[in-house]
Amino acid sequence: MDNQSISIATVITGIKDGAYQQAKVRGVTRSIVESLMAFIPGLGDPTVADPFSDEVREELRAGYMQRWAETNPSKLFVAVDGNWVEKSEKEGMALKAEKFTLDVYSAFSYTQQAFGALKNEQPKKHELIGGVRTKVNKYIHNCLADLKREATRIYKEKNNIVATRTTVDYFDWLLTGDKSVMANIRQRAINAKAKGEEVDIATIDKAIAAFKGKLK
């Protein structure tokens, strides 16, 4: 992809224009994903269960959070009669009351331990912050899924890999496939770790290996 900026229309004037804008976005998306495939070894390769190292995952997460921040501006909340009420910047600053600004970065500035403690100390504030954290984590999860899906499609296209319909292999479904039950368990653990939860991936890998060993 070249370095020129690409303008995407936000107002569609008709079906033809909508189709044109859709095709433009599709082409841009492919170019971006191909660039990321060059930066991330194994991305798109269906034989690689998880191409994202902790460092790569953190960078992707930071990029998705940056985009979230652009489309979801910060909000100012002021303490009023025991509740947190959203106010404009002008209104809020004029009030002599406790206040805090909530955006994607302030929401994730808490460690898991500090955020958990906030539930008992300030439950209403915890609820507001938790709502943002939940939405952002879901957004990031979906962005990662979209990235992997498009990268896999591109990889298969470039390597002439054609999907064939076969009967269900239940051993593959349970244990070995990249969408198997075991792979799903491991991916859930990775996602939880990315959210800041304490998860020992090595221990989970050992447990999965032991389970597979028992079935062989």
pLDDT in tens, 47-60: 998 999 999 999 99
Q: How much is the pLDDT for 3?
A: 46
Q: Name the pLDDT band for 2 (thresholds 50, 70, 90).
A: very low
Q: 112-140: per-residue pLDDT in tens? A: 999 999 999 999 999 999 999 999 999 99
> Are the C-beta atoms of residues 193 and 52 closer than 8 Å to each other?
no
Share of the chain above pLDDT 70, in %: 85
Q: Name the pLDDT band for 216 (thresholds 50, 70, 90).
A: low
- Burial class of residue 200 in the structure, from the number of CB atoms within 10 Å of its CB (0-12 exposed, 13-18 middle, 19+ buried): exposed
Q: 67-82: per-residue pLDDT in tens? A: 999 999 999 999 998 8
Q: What is the mean pLDDT of residues 101-117?
A: 95
Domains of the chain, by residue range, sit at: 1-39, 45-161, 164-216
pTM of this structure: 0.72
Q: Is the pLDDT of residue 1 over 50?
A: no
Q: Which amino acid is at 50?
A: D
Q: How much is the pLDDT for 69?
A: 97
- In angstroms, rounded to a whole number, what is the distance separating the alpha carbons of residues 208 and 39? 30
The token pair that represents 90 in the structure block = 């002008």
Q: 169-205: per-residue pLDDT in tens? A: 555 656 666 667 777 788 888 888 787 777 788 888 8
Residue that the structure tokens 């709502």 belong to = 131
Picking from 2-11, 109-118, 206-215, which range would have the lowest pLDDT averaged per residue? 2-11
